[in-house]
Structure 1
Amino acid sequence: MDDVCSDLVAEVRAFRQRFPDVRYVDLISLDIPGHFYGKRYPIDMLEKVAAGSALKLPQNCVLLGTQGGLFKIGDYCFNDGDPDAPRRLVPGTLKLVNWEKQPLGQMLITSSGTEKPIVFEPREVLAQVLERLGRKGIFPVVAFELEFYLFDRQLRDGLPQFARDPLTDDADDQPNMHIERLTRFAPVLDEMVETARAQGIDATVITAELGPGQFEINFGHLDDGLRAADWAALFCRSTRGVAMKHNYRASFMAKPYLQHPGSGMHVHVSLYDEAGNNLLAANGQHALRHAVAGCLEVLPHCMPIFAPNHNAMRRLSGTVNVATRASWGFEDRDACLRVPESDAKNLRIEHRLASADANPYLVLAAILVGLEQGVEAGREPIAALNEDRSSGVDFPLEMLEAVRSMESHAQLREGLGAEFVNVYCENKRQDHLAFLQDISAREYRWYL
């Protein structure tokens, strides 16, 4: 038994000793739309997998559409026999699920690091980008911030309802950032944070956001990009579960209300060398400007990643603190790329464009490709918003146009992998077309 297997077996055995009532463990991985798929394993079988027994799932699970259906993408799904592909356990991710009625465990799995990785698996895409940067002596430090809404658990006529204030039993329909809202919703918010920390996630600052029932959670900075994206993915899962326990519905939907702010995924990224020097601060921050230029050049071609569905495109409609063009600025929340005030050691870029329901592995991978290409090309960016409020580059705001822009971009195909770009763009095209196959009540009112 090699060292990795020995460590995994020890992890499983320690978990069983600590939680003897747990009989099953959910083995989970994120698909292209950002949903978890997997299998529920008896915990004694998990120990065998940890010791080296084969773990396989259908390769095409990764290709599921938003509603779980399969699309014909090249030879995948319908002409390939739906083959199995090997997965492995991700060390350090076996944790207790405490929002279910019965004791349960969960653990991340991935094809990354197996003898035959799935090139379009989101975690593998990010792993390849990070590995390439490491070979170049570039080591990112990353922190995610996620916004989400709380709704009443029950929909009304299919529509979300404002969350009920637990102290007054009134609808929380006042959009504000008052600290008192954190007190009023403390029972559910506190359990969300405690549950996240039990999952190994360094959840830190909680903010009451502008929308009614809207909040933001920040995570600690990590020098492991894969783990940072794991945190973001797992937080979404645990937050939904905890909300249900408290008779709420938690959602990371990008734009649930037209009249209120949408929910975003903000990503802070610094780049360091092997000695721990901040590369962005080098040469009087020239590298920072080059990295910004690279991100802005790639950004218009990454819109299917940053705004992965029809509703996410709605969020980019000129509401407060959401950019409608590719832009940057110092301490400017209207910019796609904000450079927060900091010392040279902590100089970083905050990428603010992605929606909260975007796939965190792919969002980070796309950001890093932009930074990588910018640092290497050494070009100057467009004017910062601090210098010119009209500065910016247009990006697509319609999915089919965005897909065409992404699939034809040579640098992105090189940076993320051509096969991934092909598969991802076709998945988004088919998902969007499937979404349009419905006649709404408004359509009848307008055209009947």
Structure 2
Amino acid sequence: MSSLQMKNFLRKNPNVRTIRVAACDLNGQPRGKRVPSRFADKIVENGTRFPVSVLNLDIWGEDIDDSPLVFESGDRDGVLFPTERGFLPMPWLEAPTALLPIWMFREDGRPYEGDPRHALRAVLDRYKARGLTPVVAVELEFFLIDDSGRTLEVPISPRSGKRRKAAETMSIRALDTFDIFFTDLYDACEAMDIPADTAISEAGLGQFEINLMHGDDALRAADDAWLFKWLVKGLARRHGFAASFMAKPYEDYSGSGMHAHFSVLDEKGRNVFDDGGSKGTDTLRHAVEGCLSAMKDSALIFAPHLNSYDRLVPGAHAPTGLCWAYENRTAAIRVPSGAPAARRIEHRVSGGDVNPYLSLAAILGAALNGIEDGREPPEPITGNAYALDLDHMPGNWSDAIEHFEKSEIMPRIFPEELIRNYLLTKKQERHYMAELSPKEQVEIYLDTV
């Protein structure tokens, strides 16, 4: 959307009285301002300003105690400009409101390297320099939750007035139970131009999954995932319950993931993973090797919170072993079957609680490392990955922090400033989470991630 189109959006929608300008912080939280719509043209033309440190807050929205972005630097401002997405409606709010997504730059016009959207853009620039374009789609799992009582429960059915406490994998009845919510959600996605496709009920208690359609703009795919999470949580509250993408709200049920599917096109639009058969090309295998080699070091991106590691346990529909396979959902990396022209990689590690920009940057950056290095992965597994003797993902938050901090791979994917800021954030959160009860931990994650 051009500057002129942004201005015309508000002129064509005079009922919109206020706007929100928002950027994505390292935890995936929207940070920004409320602005009367009559002053929106100024932001479209000149951007807006807020402290650089705002993109590096902890999960509570607090400053990072030892961050050089705060007192050491005088808490200086960054300059934030609209992304190419332009204005979007915010259907979960009562008053007509428009959202203007923004991202951060330095005073001299350079992208601010601590902005997660810029981190993904930098990875995509590496692909572009090689004449390659990733095609990306994500699948987002989430829970509908009644959090009004002392314990978390499935919301009461708007149709029957009853509460069914059971997992209902791919149940049409479960979808129909919340038909009004899902109808409103799909209408809202259409209004926001989020390409929501198939919905299913999942294996968790009150758990659902919606797929977002694939496209050859990975930055837009991350935008869609970020906006979708915000929309689902806001719209659920309008319907009288909560929606959460936290990795594991219920101990006895599977957690939520954000699976990413990707292929790669060359300059002629050909899928470089397609060999005309079921196995895929050398390039596919090199991309798989890159993803596997980076998986331990990038665990802190794919499992960013204390609760994330409750999901990554054997036999819980989340991968734990470092392996790949053809058409096997127990593996961390799955190569789905289907038409050779659609040959792709499914990366199954990320929880629903991730920052979509960082997750896609880590996945696509690792895959490109593999393509550049040209190394072969281990042999694909067959059978149940949980039953095999494999190297494993870090089993807890502290181990993941250590792998990320000592990594020689992460600096190939992320800028030094983002790595530093992210580590400071996670170390502070680890310190203060240890002071909270499990109930208090769930309360903060339920509404944020």
| Whole-angstrom distance in 2 between the partners of 1:81 and 1:144 | 39
Taking a change above 3 Å as real, the CA distance of residues 224 and 312 of structure 1, as seen in their structure-2 partners, is same
Residue 89 of structure 2 is aligned to residue 91 of structure 1: no
1:418 Cα offset (Å): 2.1
Look up the equivalent residue of 2:163 and give its one-letter code: A
Match of 1:27 among 3, 8, 21: 21
> Conserved in 2, the CA contact under 8 Å of 1:320 and 1:334?
no
Of 227-236 and 274-283, more deviation after overlay is shown by: 274-283
Give deviations 1:414-440, integer Å, cap 9, x for gaps: 221222112211211111111112356
Look up the equivalent residue of 1:276 and give its one-letter code: G
Which secondary structure state, in structure 2, belongs to the residue aligned with residue 109 of structure 1? strand
Match of 1:238 among 225, 231, 235: 231
| Paired position in structure 2 for 1:12 | 7
Which secondary structure state, in structure 1, belongs to the residue aligned with residue 274 of structure 2? helix
Give deviations 1:319-343, integer Å, cap 9, x for gaps: 4321112221111111111111122
Look up the equivalent residue of 1:256 and give its one-letter code: P
> Conserved in 2, the CA contact under 8 Å of 1:385 and 1:391?
no
| Whole-angstrom distance in 2 between the partners of 1:287 and 1:342 | 18
Taking a change above 3 Å as real, the CA distance of residues 294 and 392 of structure 1, as seen in their structure-2 partners, is farther
Residue 177 of structure 2 is aligned to residue 184 of structure 1: yes
> Conserved in 1, the CA contact under 8 Å of 2:10 and 2:16?
no
Taking a change above 3 Å as real, the CA distance of residues 314 and 104 of structure 1, as seen in their structure-2 partners, is same
Look up the equivalent residue of 1:119 and give its one-letter code: E
Residue 359 of structure 2 is aligned to residue 363 of structure 1: yes
Match of 1:171 among 163, 187, 197: 163
Aligned residues: 433
| Whole-angstrom distance in 1 between the partners of 2:251 and 2:437 | 20
| Whole-angstrom distance in 2 between the partners of 1:186 and 1:148 | 16
Look up the equivalent residue of 1:173 and give its one-letter code: K
Match of 1:437 among 426, 430, 435: 435
Residue 191 of structure 2 is aligned to residue 198 of structure 1: yes
| Paired position in structure 2 for 1:149 | 143
Which secondary structure state, in structure 2, belongs to the residue aligned with residue 128 of structure 1? helix
Look up the equivalent residue of 1:189 and give its one-letter code: F
Which secondary structure state, in structure 2, belongs to the residue aligned with residue 268 of structure 1? strand
| Whole-angstrom distance in 2 between the partners of 1:293 and 1:112 | 34
CA RMSD of aligned residues (A): 1.9
> Conserved in 2, the CA contact under 8 Å of 1:112 and 1:127?
no
Give deviations 1:199-246, integer Å, cap 9, x for gaps: 110100001111121100001111111100000000011111111111
Look up the equivalent residue of 1:325 and give its one-letter code: G
| Whole-angstrom distance in 1 between the partners of 2:314 and 2:300 | 19
Which secondary structure state, in structure 1, belongs to the residue aligned with residue 304 of structure 2? coil
| Paired position in structure 1 for 2:413 | 415
| Whole-angstrom distance in 2 between the partners of 1:387 and 1:318 | 14
User: Runs of 4+ in structure 1 displaced over 2 angstroms?
Assistant: 9-12, 281-284, 438-442
Identity of aligned residues (%): 32
Uncovered stretches (5+) of structure 2, i.e. residues with no partner: 441-449
Match of 2:296 among 290, 297, 300: 300
Look up the equivalent residue of 1:249 and give its one-letter code: A
1:155 Cα offset (Å): 2.8
Taking a change above 3 Å as real, the CA distance of residues 441 and 71 of structure 1, as seen in their structure-2 partners, is closer
| Whole-angstrom distance in 2 between the partners of 1:16 and 1:337 | 47
Which secondary structure state, in structure 2, belongs to the residue aligned with residue 215 of structure 1? strand
Look up the equivalent residue of 1:370 and give its one-letter code: A
Which secondary structure state, in structure 1, belongs to the residue aligned with residue 199 of structure 2? strand
> Conserved in 2, the CA contact under 8 Å of 1:301 and 1:409?
yes
Taking a change above 3 Å as real, the CA distance of residues 287 and 102 of structure 1, as seen in their structure-2 partners, is same
| Whole-angstrom distance in 2 between the partners of 1:80 and 1:431 | 22
| Paired position in structure 1 for 2:444 | none
Residue 120 of structure 2 is aligned to residue 119 of structure 1: no
Which secondary structure state, in structure 2, belongs to the residue aligned with residue 354 of structure 1? coil
Residue 134 of structure 2 is aligned to residue 140 of structure 1: yes
| Paired position in structure 1 for 2:376 | 380
Look up the equivalent residue of 2:274 and give its one-letter code: A
Give deviations 1:337-379, integer Å, cap 9, x for gaps: 1111122321111111100010000000000111011112222
Uncovered stretches (5+) of structure 1, i.e. residues with no partner: 443-448
**Equivalent residue runs for 1:28-427 within 5 Å:** 28-50=22-44, 52-111=45-104, 115-152=109-146, 154-157=147-150, 159-177=151-169, 178-282=171-275, 285-386=281-382, 389=385, 390=388, 392-427=390-425
Give deviations 1:263-291, integer Å, cap 9, x for gaps: 00010011111111111225952211111
Look up the equivalent residue of 2:331 and give its one-letter code: A
Which secondary structure state, in structure 1, belongs to the residue aligned with residue 352 of structure 2? coil
| Whole-angstrom distance in 2 between the partners of 1:320 and 1:55 | 45
Give deviations 1:38-70, integer Å, cap 9, x for gaps: 0111112111222x2241111111011001111
Q: TM-score, normalised by structure 2?
A: 0.92
> Conserved in 2, the CA contact under 8 Å of 1:332 and 1:338?
yes
Which secondary structure state, in structure 1, belongs to the residue aligned with residue 183 of structure 2? helix
| Whole-angstrom distance in 1 between the partners of 2:384 and 2:351 | 26
Taking a change above 3 Å as real, the CA distance of residues 315 and 75 of structure 1, as seen in their structure-2 partners, is same
Which secondary structure state, in structure 1, belongs to the residue aligned with residue 273 of structure 2? helix
| Whole-angstrom distance in 1 between the partners of 2:199 and 2:383 | 32
